[in-house]
């Protein structure tokens, strides 16, 4: 087989076995639409992973997904997790723990039903908590929500 | 004095003694920038007025105010207060209690340092909690923050 033909074949192969494409840091998400918030306290089964106060943000395409139940390509959802500081009968936001991202692109993330995911540690835009492990670290749990396009949150009016 | 001249004079009089201009419902604020959030629990001195979970939102001009410390005319800040439901080691958002609004317009709300304020009860866009009482219901407390253009909140990064 000629080298050119081989390269064409390789390029056409499905990427299922390869590492997933990296998910970009969601620049500007603090100006996106705030979907909802929640505090997870010690004693909750998800406390180790998601303890604190979190806010969900949606870009314009993700807003469409929350409205219709079907998230189009380019939809990005951010899970912004901060420490929850309890004092003087208040709960206030503390340091950022992680910026979680779900990004819909059925071509890039075919093996995880069209969703790429990542967690950017603290205030870092480069330090990744998920990397190649999206299938186990994110999707394994989100498959419960298959009927809702793999998204747990709903838009709070 | 002729009647026309009298009307002109009346129209030119400062509106200091008159009722404050009404503050409009902040249409579309759920797509504005989320500034910060906080939970106020029973036992807090402001619990009766502001108990629950609240989110602050800023329109584009208010974003400028949070950045520069000086809020331009047209800046609107929304204080979105929801019930806080504690269960199973979580705090979740409940029904809306009030949509509080601060609107900057130095001409309209001269006697309260340029800020108009209102509270829209629950999910209503018409039922007003403040009305003519902005000076006592809002501004009396916000004058503490004169050095910060009468705004308590700061933008959370």
Per-residue pLDDT reduced to its tens digit, A106-142: 999 999 999 999 999 999 999 999 999 999 999 999 9
- CB spacing of A91 vs B41 below 8 angstroms: yes
CA separation for the pair A72, A70 (Å, rounded)? 6
Residues of A in Cβ contact (< 8 Å) with B89 = 40-44, 47
- CB spacing of A123 vs B37 below 8 angstroms: no
- CB spacing of A57 vs B40 below 8 angstroms: no
Taking residues B8-25, report their average pLDDT: 70
- CB spacing of B91 vs A157 below 8 angstroms: no
Comparing A12-16, B107-111, B135-139, the range with the smallest average pLDDT is A12-16
Supply the DSSP symbol for B19: P
Kindly report, residue by residue over A75-95, the tens digit of the pLDDT.
Answer: 999 999 999 999 999 999 999
Q: How far is A19 from chain B (nearest CA, A)?
A: 32
Taking residues B30-50, report their average pLDDT: 98
Q: How far is A16 from chain B (nearest CA, A)?
A: 37
Q: What is the 3-state secondary structure (H, E, C) of chain A?
A: CCHHHHHHHHHHCCCCCCCCCCCCCCCCHHHCEEEEEEEECCCCCCHHHHCEEEEEEECHHHHHHHHHCCCCCCCEEEEEEEEEEEECCEEEEEEEEEEEEEEECCCCCHHHCCEEEEEEECCCCCCECCHHHHHHHHHHHHHHHHHHCCCCCCCCC
Q: A105 pLDDT exceeds 60?
A: yes
Supply the DSSP symbol for B99: E
Q: How far is B14 from chain A (nearest CA, A)?
A: 38
Residues of B in Cβ contact (< 8 Å) with A63 = 31
Q: How far is A140 from chain B (nearest CA, A)?
A: 23
Q: Which of A34, A88, A92 sits opposite B55 (nearest CB)?
A: A34
The pLDDT of residue B1 is 46
Neighbours of B120 (CB within 10 A): 21
Taking residues B61-66, report their average pLDDT: 98
To 5 degrees, how large is the angle CA B10–CA B15–CA B16? 135
Q: How confident is the model at residue B5 (pLDDT cuts 50, 70, 90)?
A: low
CA-based nearest residue to A26, from A55, A68, A66: A55
ipTM computed for the complex: 0.88
Q: How confident is the model at residue B131 (pLDDT cuts 50, 70, 90)?
A: very high
The pLDDT of residue A110 is 95
Residues in chain B, overall count: 157
End-to-end distance of chain A based on CA atoms, in angstroms? 60
The pLDDT of residue A1 is 47
Q: A9 pLDDT exceeds 90?
A: no
CA-based nearest residue to B116, from B143, B134, B140: B134
The pLDDT of residue B2 is 54
Q: Which of B38, B43, B89 sits opposite A92 (nearest CB)?
A: B38
Q: What is the mean pLDDT of chain A?
A: 92
CB A106 within 8 A of CB A115: no
Stated pTM of the model:
0.89
Residues of A in Cβ contact (< 8 Å) with B36 = 93
Q: A2 pLDDT exceeds 80?
A: no
Taking residues A29-56, report their average pLDDT: 98
The contacts found for B8-11 with CB under 8 angstroms, 24 or more apart, are none
- CB spacing of A91 vs B43 below 8 angstroms: no
């Amino acid at each position: 087989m000629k080298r050119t033909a081989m390269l064409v074949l390789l390029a056409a192969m499905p990427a299922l076995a390869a590492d997933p494409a990296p998910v970009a840091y969601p620049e500007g998400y603090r100006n996106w639409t705030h979907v909802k918030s929640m505090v997870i306290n010690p004693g909750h089964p998800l406390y180790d992973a998601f303890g604190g106060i979190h806010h969900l943000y949606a870009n314009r395409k993700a807003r469409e997904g929350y409205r219709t139940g079907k998230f189009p390509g380019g939809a990005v959802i951010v899970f912004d997790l901060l420490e929850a500081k309890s004092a003087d009968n208040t709960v206030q936001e503390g340091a950022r723990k992680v910026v979680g991202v779900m990004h819909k692109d059925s071509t890039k993330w075919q093996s995880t039903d069209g969703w790429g995911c990542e967690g950017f540690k603290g205030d870092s835009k480069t330090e990744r908590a998920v990397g190649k492990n999206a299938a186990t670290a994110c999707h394994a749990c989100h498959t419960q929500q298959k009927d809702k396009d793999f998204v747990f949150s709903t838009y709070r009016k």
